[in-house]
A and B are shown apart, each in its own frame.
Chain A
Amino acid sequence: MKDLKDLNFPDDVKYTKDHEWARKEGDLITIGIDDYAQDQLGEIVFVELPEIGAGFSKGDEFGSVESVKAVSQIYIPVSGEVVEINAGLEDAPELVNQACYTQGWLIRVKPSQASELDSLMDKAAYLDMLKG
């Protein structure tokens, strides 16, 4: 496992205690798992994503990420409706390892309560949590 200092936590996303990230992009919010999560999981071999149109409340399980080591549930950081999924992960789940904040994103949602994003942790708060 990498040291925290070797992991990448961009400033332009918010983080959850379960190691998902969320980024506001116009009216939508893009969601993925962060560098800490992908490093812990190891090589990701399968990503299970919801159907487009599915609705979730903040904290609901919306899919799973399967690595050679484990199967991990993923929880939605904000309530909303799924408007897009990263279909490219079906053939290339390793993108989550290689570029978890860019090509390895998981879903885009139309938030039902945009203010929920503000309640998530910023980089500094998230790093404090990781350091325990």
Chain B
Amino acid sequence: MTSCLKTTPLHPWHKDAGANMADFGGFDMPLWYETGVKTEHLAVLTSAGIFDTSHMACLFVTGGDAFKLINYCFTRDITALDPGRCVYGAFLNSKGHCLDDAIVYKNSDVFFMICVNAGMGAAIAGHLNENTTGLEVTVEDLTGKIAKMDIQGCNSARIFSKLIQNPAKMFNPLPYFSFKGNFDESLLGDSAVKLSDGTPILLSRSGYTGEFGFEIFIHPKAIVKLWKDILAVGKDLGVTACGLGARDSLRAGACLPLSHQDIGPWKFKNHPWEFALPYTKDKTSFTKDFLGAKALLSTEGDVFVYPFVGESLRKVAAGEETKVLDKTGAVIGRVLTCATDMGITRHDGKIISIASGNLLPDVPIKGLSCGFVMVSKQLDPGVTLTLAEGKRSITATLVTDIRPDRTARKKITDFL
């Protein structure tokens, strides 16, 4: 049964660590280790956690028309994107439906890297290649040629600085959504980032937890050593190996979508991620033409996706069977994601986080369920809904954001 699943270079480590494994995007991946999801989730909010994200796929897009191809296929307008910067967005089809979300890394005007989700390397490469007519551009799927891990949380830079050459130079400056270096020695420019043993890496100030940290792209042969080294040098600071369970609850609390679950074969609009669309200021048009733009500008078949927070840590299963009911009891949609952010609670009508500081000792952080609903009509924040799964149900309130006091966007100098 598991024999057809793909594995990452860290797979033996996960098994040795007693991880609870499951299929994710065709890969046998750790859901959690013996530490448990709650501890792993909280480690990222209070110290640092590491995630094996080698199941994700990367593409290189090179050539004189690389910019043209990406700017036509990607939802972000990358006209003003500087080399060394990266940006989050999505690839749509002509119906405006989402094929996958991605981060586009600009090395130069003629060389971009794109990081997409597990198993999506060939699909997105194929999609790009369908749109290259008349363009001078090459799309290379790097699936299997590159490994990746993320280190997330306030101690990430303190830990990682012990493992790279010239950390002061590498980290300063390194703003949110910028990157340095490359995992391929032959592609290293002035911004080379190397581990202490000389291994080249691509270091990106990003991640998918909402917290401060890095994504590290590295040769598959070198990742196990890096993983073990981080656990060793970060032990005193409490660094913790985290599975996809904690990644899911952290990203849900950070109001970030999971591809193929919160974004998918429906229109990529009317959702919390409209920053990923190139709207003009008045939101009546786009700053560029791109694949799917025409469909998005029409209101036909529109649906609405909103973040919600529950009353307690109790949740419902996400999926087609779980209905969203308004106060009249009418079914108006379904639940896309329902996870529990174990690091937050409600106090005096506000959501507070374990990382908020000045927590009152008599206010225990118990966790709150949260996620996204897809409904057929426009609703305002503050609206309460019932999420019903068979006989069970929970009350959910629509919100504009979930976990407060996240650190992802803060200055790196705050964490050195």
Q: Does B392 contact A (CB under 8 A)?
A: yes
Tell me the smallest distance from the CB of B337 to a CB of chain A, in Å.
13
Q: Known: A66-B314, A68-B38, A71-B317. Contact between A45 and B340, CB under 8 A?
A: yes
Q: Does B179 contact A (CB under 8 A)?
A: no
Beta-carbon nearest neighbor of A70 in chain B: B317
Q: Does B32 contact A (CB under 8 A)?
A: yes
- A98 vs B125: C-alpha distance when bound (angstroms): 47
Q: Known: A43-B36, A46-B314. Contact between A68 and B392, CB under 8 A?
A: no
Q: Does B313 contact A (CB under 8 A)?
A: yes
A45 touches B367 (CB 8 A): yes
B37 touches A43 (CB 8 A): yes
Beta-carbon nearest neighbor of B41 in chain A: A68
A69 touches B36 (CB 8 A): no
Q: Mask for B13-38, Cβ within 8 A of A = 1, else 0? A: 00000101100000000011000111
Q: Does A64 contact B (CB under 8 A)?
A: yes
**Using Cβ atoms and an 8 Å threshold, which residues of chain A touch B317?**
70-71
**Using Cβ atoms and an 8 Å threshold, which residues of chain B touch A45?**
38, 313, 340, 342, 367
**Using Cβ atoms and an 8 Å threshold, which residues of chain A touch B404?**
none
A68 touches B340 (CB 8 A): yes
Q: Mask for B155-176, Cβ within 8 A of A = 1, else 0? A: 0000000000000000000000
Tell me the smallest distance from the CB of B276 to a CB of chain A, in Å.
28
* Interface SS, B side: mixed
**Using Cβ atoms and an 8 Å threshold, which residues of chain A touch B245?**
42, 68-69
- A46 vs B339: C-alpha distance when bound (angstroms): 13
- A71 vs B18: C-alpha distance when bound (angstroms): 23
**Using Cβ atoms and an 8 Å threshold, which residues of chain B touch A68?**
32, 37-38, 245, 249, 339-340, 342
Tell me the smallest distance from the CB of A40 to a CB of chain B, in Å.
8
Instruction: List B367-382 residues whose CB lies under 8 Å from chain A.
Output: 367
Q: Mask for A60-72, Cβ within 8 A of B = 1, else 0? A: 0100101011110
- A94 vs B253: C-alpha distance when bound (angstroms): 22
Instruction: List B7-63 residues whose CB lies under 8 Å from chain A.
Output: 18, 20-21, 31-32, 36-38
Tell me the smallest distance from the CB of A68 to a CB of chain B, in Å.
4
Beta-carbon nearest neighbor of A46 in chain B: B314
Q: Does A131 contact B (CB under 8 A)?
A: no
Contact partner of A66 (CB less than 8 A), chosen from B38, B315, B342, is: B315
- A70 vs B37: C-alpha distance when bound (angstroms): 12
Beta-carbon nearest neighbor of B32 in chain A: A42
**Using Cβ atoms and an 8 Å threshold, which residues of chain A touch B18?**
2
B20 touches A42 (CB 8 A): yes
- A70 vs B392: C-alpha distance when bound (angstroms): 13
Instruction: List B248-274 residues whose CB lies under 8 Å from chain A.
Output: 249
Instruction: List B342-401 residues whose CB lies under 8 Å from chain A.
Output: 342, 367, 389, 391-392
Q: Mask for A66-80, Cβ within 8 A of B = 1, else 0? A: 101111000000000
Q: Does B66 contact A (CB under 8 A)?
A: no
The winner among B36, B249, B316 for most chain A CB atoms within 10 A is B36
**Using Cβ atoms and an 8 Å threshold, which residues of chain B touch A39?**
20
Q: Mask for A101-115, Cβ within 8 A of B = 1, else 0? A: 000000000000000
**Using Cβ atoms and an 8 Å threshold, which residues of chain A touch B339?**
68
A43 touches B38 (CB 8 A): yes
Tell me the smallest distance from the CB of A94 to a CB of chain B, in Å.
9
Instruction: List B271-316 residues whose CB lies under 8 Å from chain A.
Output: 313-316
**Using Cβ atoms and an 8 Å threshold, which residues of chain A touch B342?**
45, 68
Contact partner of B32 (CB less than 8 A), chosen from A43, A64, A70, A71, is: A43
Tell me the smallest distance from the CB of A3 to a CB of chain B, in Å.
10
The winner among A39, A66, A70 for most chain B CB atoms within 10 A is A66
Q: Mask for A1-12, Cβ within 8 A of B = 1, else 0? A: 110000000000
B21 touches A71 (CB 8 A): no
Q: Mask for A29-73, Cβ within 8 A of B = 1, else 0? A: 000000000010011011000000000000001001010111100
Q: Known: A1-B21, A71-B315. Contact between A42 and B37, CB under 8 A?
A: yes
B31 touches A69 (CB 8 A): yes
- A122 vs B315: C-alpha distance when bound (angstroms): 34
**Using Cβ atoms and an 8 Å threshold, which residues of chain B touch A1?**
20-21
Can you list 19 A-B contacts (CB < 8 A)? A1-B21, A2-B18, A42-B31, A42-B32, A42-B36, A43-B32, A43-B37, A45-B38, A45-B367, A46-B313, A61-B391, A64-B392, A66-B315, A68-B37, A68-B245, A68-B342, A69-B31, A69-B37, A70-B317
Q: Which residues of B contact A (CB under 8 A)?
A: 18, 20-21, 31-32, 36-38, 245, 249, 313-317, 339-340, 342, 367, 389, 391-392
Other than the given A42-B31, A46-B313, 5 more pairs (CB < 8 A) read A1-B21, A43-B36, A68-B37, A68-B342, A71-B315
